[in-house]
A and B are shown apart, each in its own frame.
Chain A
Amino acid sequence: MDKDIDDVAVDYEMSEDEKTILRELGVFGESRRKFLGKVGTGGASLLALQLLAEQEALAAETGEPLTSAFGPRFENALKVTLKVNGEKKSLEVDSRMTLLDALRERLALTGTKKGCDRGQCGSCTVIVEGERVLSCLALAATCEGKDVTTIEGLAEGDSLHPLQAAFIKYDAFQCGYCTPGQICSSVALLDEAKNGELSHVSDEIPEKAAPVDLSDDEIRERMSGNLCRCGAYPNILKAIQEVEGGREVAQTWSFYNSAKEGSDETV
């Protein structure tokens, strides 16, 4: 006998939407029994149901139709092909999936970080078609055919991107959570300035675009979409300054050589 979602025993009342999701995922009837077998005893929360179903769906990378132990492919599945860090990737995604989740959950590119997931912190910044964007507000479906560069794609083999090296040199982070976003953002920033794109603090609005000289205020304003809870801002500024204008700024830290404890020497 095939059961409907209304018969499924979960330990809280589901909304119509949640029921729809489960119906679409095919989480009832035969597949549900299999599923409940998997989760063992105890009431399965809707979250667990959903997570497991999603995990199966998410596991299927490539163009193969998505089938799961729970039933047919989900209703709003879409095929997306993107070029990530130079490599072509084909995925089948739920229409709701953001580029951020596609990168992290489907392509195992966890360098890009999820901070707020609401467009407010910049930690998810990646470069799409040469422009920095917030991957948490970009639906994966809209990235069809696009070139995506993440923090993992900036280095060339073993040699770091100059900004990556400068971030290390100037100790431009503490916990490092915002750092991939900061670096992707600053890589794009340098191109924007070269192209003569203006910012809120640009004094003049010349008719014709000419490369913009990046004062400290310009860099601060142009990086304002990337928050850092650790407050590494002064050092981020220094790292960008150095790469931007070759303005070498005094390095703010050095390794302390414990072998020479007692001496002031550093290595």
Chain B
Amino acid sequence: MKPFKYEKAKDLGTAASTLDSIPSASLLAGGTNIVDLMKEDVARPDILVDINGLEFSKIKKKGNTVSIGALATNKDTANHPLVRKHFPVLTQSILAGASAQIRNMATNGGNLNQRTRCMYFNDPSVTCNKRDPGSGCSAMEGLNRMHSIFGWSNRCVAVFPSDMAVGLAALDAVVNVANKDGESRAIPINDYHRLPGRDPSRDNTLKRGEIVTTIDIPINSWAKNSYYLKVRDRASYDFALVSVAAALDLGGGVIRGSRIAMGGVAPKPWRALIAEKELIGKKPSKELFERAAKMEMERARPLEHNEFKVKMGERAIVRALQKSGNA
């Protein structure tokens, strides 16, 4: 690991200002990703700014929204009474990730900003456009079983690994960020992460010097009709091959609204908008779910080793919708 200076942040302003003025500075929250990357020499910060202890670790209700602190742990978030009550799909998506030990350490801000698990990204001895822009993508011609089937570019085919972010995408969460001058921006979760396009080095739309402070989730009426389904190689403690967060707004025997977000298939949480639209105004049934899922997955562009994710994704959507509708 490269030597670095450890700095305990006094307040948000000083942390943001260090980030802003020193490009090689990095934030440290739970450390479960950044410390790992530093050990592998993939991340090489000169300064590590420890933001633990800053004020934004609370989970509270603000009118018709629940505000979740970026520094609240994944464990505390999943188990919080407000989250259990209003967003069980978020609880499920968090608990489907990592292990108890890691969720005890991991924070919500760190989870949103974790890097891809593409094995080539995590190995500095091979080329990777995300880690070393312009060097080439080893996964394109290499092993790409775990990689994207939607949204990739010929510069990068990695997936964004977070489960929690998929839950948040289905809940239309808003990510609040602030900079050194105290200016804040509210970024809808679906605009927070970005597709690689010509520049895979940036995973999200956070600007230099910005820090995630809270995540707002609007309270909805779908809590009882939601489900997070995760398919992985092992029964536990593994990243998703495919995952689906689904939520249905049911009333008068029809689907009034629907949310379907997918993990493990794209460089960002992937909203299945085609399938969502197909469901509106119709009576829930297995046939409907199958048709909608098929329509969505027909758009997939699998790589050499991950063709299987297309069918798996289709079935996972159907299953998650059935579970959501208790059908």
Q: Name A's B-contacting residues (CB within 8 A).
A: 17, 20-21, 24, 75-76, 78, 94-96, 98, 117-119, 122, 125, 131-134, 137-139, 141-142, 144, 185, 188-189, 192, 196-200, 202, 205-209, 220-222, 224-226
Contact = CB atoms under 8 A, between A and B. Distances in A.
Contacts of A24: 3
B81 A221 contact: no
A118 B32 CA distance: 9
A137 B38 CA distance: 10
27 contacts: A75-B3, A75-B5, A76-B6, A95-B3, A96-B3, A96-B4, A118-B39, A119-B32, A122-B99, A122-B101, A132-B100, A132-B101, A133-B104, A134-B102, A138-B35, A139-B6, A141-B50, A185-B100, A185-B101, A198-B79, A199-B95, A199-B100, A205-B92, A207-B81, A207-B84, A224-B237, A225-B98
B91 interface: yes
Contacts of A209: 79, 81, 84
Contacts of B236: 200, 220-221, 224
A144 B95 CA distance: 28
B17 interface: no
Interface of B: 1-6, 8, 28, 31-32, 35-36, 38-40, 48, 50, 52, 75, 78-79, 81, 84-85, 88, 91-92, 95-96, 98-102, 104-105, 235-237
Contacts of B48: 95, 139
Nearest to A141: B6
Contact of B91 (A122, A139, A205): A205
B113 to A, nearest CB: 16
B3 A21 contact: yes
Contacts of A76: 3-6
A207 B179 CA distance: 35
A191 to B, nearest CB: 11
A138 B105 contact: yes
B6 A17 contact: no
B105 A225 contact: no
A119 B31 CA distance: 10
Given A132-B101, A205-B91, A222-B100, 4 more contacts: A17-B3, A117-B39, A207-B81, A224-B235
Contacts of B38: 96
A206 B105 CA distance: 24
Contact of B31 (A137, A200, A208, A220): A137
Contact of A225 (B2, B40, B92, B101): B101
A192 B6 contact: no
A139 B105 CA distance: 12
A228 to B, nearest CB: 13
A137 B98 contact: no
A183 B170 CA distance: 37
A197 B79 contact: yes
A205 B84 contact: yes
